[in-house]
Amino acid sequence: MDYLDGLNPSQKAAVEQTEGPVMIVAGAGSGKTRVITYRVAHLIRKGIDPFNILVLTFTNKAAKEMRERIMKVVGAEAKNIWMGTFHSVFAKLLRVEAQKIGYPNNFTIYDTDDSKSLIRAILKELQLDDKLYNANFVYNRISSSKNNLISPAEYLQNEHIQAEDLSSGRGKMGEIYQIYSQRCYKAGAMDFDDLLYKTNVLLREHPDVLYKYQNKFRYLMVDEYQDTNFSQYLIVKKLAANNENICVVGDDAQSIYAFRGANIQNILNFERDYPDLKIFKLEQNYRSTKNIVNVANSIIANNKNQLKKSVFSENEEGDKIKVSRAFSDNEEGKIVAEAIAQEQAVKGSRYSDFAVLYRTNAQSRAMEESLRKLNVPYKIYGGTSFYQRKEIKDLIAYFRITFNPNDEEAIKRVINYPRRGIGDTTIERIIIAADQHNITLWEVISEAHRYLDARSATAVSNFALMIQSFQVMTKTHSAYDTALHIAQHSTILKDLYSDKSIEGLSRYENIQELLNGIKEFSEREDIEEKGLDVFMQDVALLTNDDNDKNPNADTVSLMTIHSAKGLEFDNVFVVGLEENLFPSQMSLSSRSDLEEERRLFYVAITRAGKKLTLSYATSRYRWGTLTSCEPSRFIDEIDASYLELDFKPKQINTGNPFFDGERSAWQQKESFTKPKPASAVKTTSILPKAHVPSANFAPSDTSGLQVGMEVEHERFGFGKVINLEGSKPDVKATIFFKDLGQKQLLLKFAKLKIVK
C-alpha cells in the first residue's frame, strides 16, 4: 500500500474508510483530489469491481485528471470506473434507458443557444412581447423549475407560482414551459437540465431501473458536494439508498453557485440524511503561505452558517497581504499592470504565475488597457468557447441531423446554409405543414413533393437526399471520414474557403481544427466507442471549465472569481474591493446572500500560493457617471496584523477629489501598518466603523439643498455641505463628514437626510 505513504493522517483515514456514509470536509489547497483518487484506487485494490464504482464531478477536466491519477496506481482497470460530470454520466445512463420514458436512444442534447432559439420561436408564435418575456429570463425560469423537479403540469397548477407570474405580467410562462417541453420531446431532444430532470423521472417511475443502478453503483463518490442542486441531491440519495456506501467531498466555505441553483444546505445537513456518518476534515493547506491562510480564516470566520474547521499551513510565513488604493478604476489597472511587470522583470517569474480576479466581467476593461500599454501578454477566461463559434455550431448541426433527423433546431439552423434556395417562406411552409398534420419537420422535408409546391419541393428534397446519404455514410465509415465527408458535401468547407477575409480564414481554420479534434478522438485508445455520435455527446457536455486553458501559455490570467474556482497561482490580484461591487449590491438584502459573497472572497484569497494583493478605487464610472466608492467591508474584516498598505497614508489626499486636507479615516489608522498582537485582532480595524443611521432616518428631498446645511448619510454619518456645483439632475455636493473628511456626492444617488 505504498501509495498511502505520502498521505497525512487525516487524508489516510479518509482514504481507508471505504464502507458506509462518509463526508470529507476539504479546506482549500488540502489535497482533495489526491484523497479522492487514492480512495477510489484503494477500493479497487481491496477487490471492488471498478464497474461498481461511480464518481461524480462538476467538470470533465477534473474527471480526466482523477482517472489518469488512478491509472498510475491500479493500471488499466481505472478505465472501467463510471466517472464524469453529473450530466455526462446520466446522459450515458439515459442513452441506455431513454425509451422507457418515451425518448429515442439517439436523442439530441440542446445547448443554451438551441434552447433560447426554440423559446424565441415559441414567443413569436404566441405573439408575446419579447422584451417582457425575455428569452434569457424564460430560459432561466424553465431551468430553475426543472432543477426543482417542477413539471409543466405542476407549474401550471401551483397557485404560488401562478400568482408570481401574474404579478410580474408574465401570466403565459406556464404555457411557454409546456409548449417548450412538448417541442423538445417531439424533436427527440433534451436540454442540459433535462439530463438530470429526466433521470429523476426515470428513477421515480421505474423502480426496476432504480434497483438495477443501485446494485450496479455499490460505491458512490461525489466531488464538490457543496455545489449540488436539489435535482442532483435526489439522484445521489436514491442511488445510495440500498448500500449507503456514499462519500461526499467538499468545502462549504467554497459554496459560491447559489445563482445556478446550488444548495449549501446539502452539505451542511448531510448528517441528517446519514446519522451514522463518519466525518473527516482535511485542514492542512499545502498551497498557500501562512499569511494567506490566516487572512482567509479571518474572513470566513465572519460567516455564521458553516461547518467549523481549522485550516492551517506549514509553509513559509510569506509576504504580508498588500492593500492598494487607487483614485479610479483606470489607475487601479495601472497599479496592477506595473506590479506584474516589475515582479516579472525583477524575479524572472512567468506571466502565467499571475492572475487578476474580479467580481464582474466588465472590470476587465481597465486591466486589459493597462496590461496592453506595458506589453504584458494576457488571456481572458470566460469568453466565447471554441464550440460556441458559429461555424463550429453549423457543422455540428449537420452531424446532429444525421443522427437525429427530428432535431428541429438543427434543421432550422442549416436547411439553407450554405444557401441552397430554401428561403424563409419555404421554411415557414414546412413548419406550418408539420403543425397542421401533427408530424415532424423531417417528415415534411423527406416527403416534400407531398406538402410543398413543385419549385420549393425540389430544393427541399435535395437537402433530404443529402442528409440521407450522410446517414448511410455513418454505418460504414469512421467518425473522421464521416465528418470530413459532411463538411465537404454540405459545402460548408467550400463556402468558408471562398471567403478570403481574415475572419473567413479564421473560420475555415476553426473547421479544420474541429476535424483535427475528431481525428484525434477516433484514434484514442482509452475509449471503446469512437463514433461521431459519441464525439458529439462529449462536445455537448463540455463545461465552461473544460474550455481552452492552455497550461503552457505564458500569459497573465484575467477572470471572474467564479471562473477561478479550482485554479491556483503564485501571485493573485483581487481588484475592485468596494461596497456595492464586492460585496455586490444585490447581495446586501439578506444574510445568506452576504455570506455567499464572503465565501466568494474566501475562494479568491485561497487561489493565491505565495503573494496576494487586494485593491480598490475611490471612484469608478458607472453608467457614464463618476461616482465615489467606499472600501469593501471585507477589507475591514481581515485581521490587520496580516496586511500592509501599498502607499503611505499621508499620500491619500494628494490629487484625490474625495478627500481634502482634513485627517482621513485612513490617516487616523496610520498605526495599522505596524504588527498587532494576536489579542488585538477583534479590536483592530483598518477601516472606520460603519455609521449606524438615526432611528428615524429617511432620505430628504435635496432639490433645495444649500451650502451650510447639515446632513446625515446612512453610511458616512453626519456632515456639512461646503460646496454645490453642476446643474440638475447632476448636481454634485461637496460634504465634510465628521469621521471621514471631505467627500463629493451626486445628489440623485446620495440619499441624504437634511438635519438643519
Catalytic residues: 32-33, 223-224, 254, 607
Contacts 24+ apart (CB under 8 A), 116-119: 117/409, 117/412, 117/413, 118/180, 118/183, 118/184, 118/408, 118/409, 119/176, 119/180
Q: How far apart are CA 32 and CA 308, in angstroms?
A: 17
Q: How far apart are CA 639 and CA 301, in angstroms?
A: 11
For 423, phi then psi, to 5°, come to -80, 180
Contacts of 634 (CB under 8 A, 6+ apart): 299, 577, 582, 583, 598, 601
Distances in whole angstroms, Cα of residue 481 to Cα of each of 33, 241, 320: 38, 45, 58
Is residue 660 within 8 A of residue 736, CB to CB? The reply is: yes
Dihedral sign from CA coordinates of 81, 86, 88, 90: positive
Give the H or E element holding residue 189. Answer: strand 189-191
Q: How far apart are the first and last CA of the chain?
A: 78
Cell output for 381:
477566461
Cis peptide before 152 (omega within 30 of 0): no
Is residue 700 within 8 A of residue 716, CB to CB? The reply is: no
CB atoms within 10 A of CB 397: 23
Residue type, 653: N
Longest CA–CA span in the chain (Å) reads: 89
Dihedral sign from CA coordinates of 36, 42, 44, 48: negative
Q: Say which residue the cell 401550471 belongs to.
A: 156
Q: Which of 378, 358, 355 is nearest to 608 (CA)?
A: 355
Q: How far is CA 6 from the centre of its chain?
A: 33
Q: What angle do CA 410, 412, 415 make, to 5 degrees?
A: 95
What three-state secondary structure class fits 23? Answer: strand
3-state helix, strand and coil shares in percent for the chain, rounded to the nearest 5: 50, 15, 35
Q: Say which residue the cell 494628494 belongs to.
A: 654
Q: How far apart are CA 475 and CA 430, in angstroms?
A: 29
For 271, phi then psi, to 5°, come to -65, -25
Q: How far apart are CA 251 and CA 300, in angstroms?
A: 12
Q: Say which residue the cell 481544427 belongs to.
A: 513
Q: How far apart are CA 117 and CA 132, in angstroms?
A: 16
| Per-residue DSSP letter, 320 | P
Q: What single string gives the DSSP state of each residue in 493-512?
A: HHHHHT--SHHHHHHHHHHH
What are the residues facing 100 on neighbouring strands? none
Q: Say which residue the cell 474556482 belongs to.
A: 565
Q: Which of 9, 26, 69 is nearest to 44 (CA)?
A: 69
Q: How far apart are CA 640 and CA 397, in angstroms?
A: 56
Cell output for 441:
419537420
Q: How far is CA 567 from the centre of its chain?
A: 13
Q: How far apart are CA 618 and CA 562, in angstroms?
A: 24
Q: Are strands 608-617 and 321-326 parallel, antiparallel or unpaired?
A: parallel
Q: How far is CA 266 from the centre of its chain?
A: 19
Q: Are strands 717-725 and 732-737 parallel, antiparallel or unpaired?
A: antiparallel
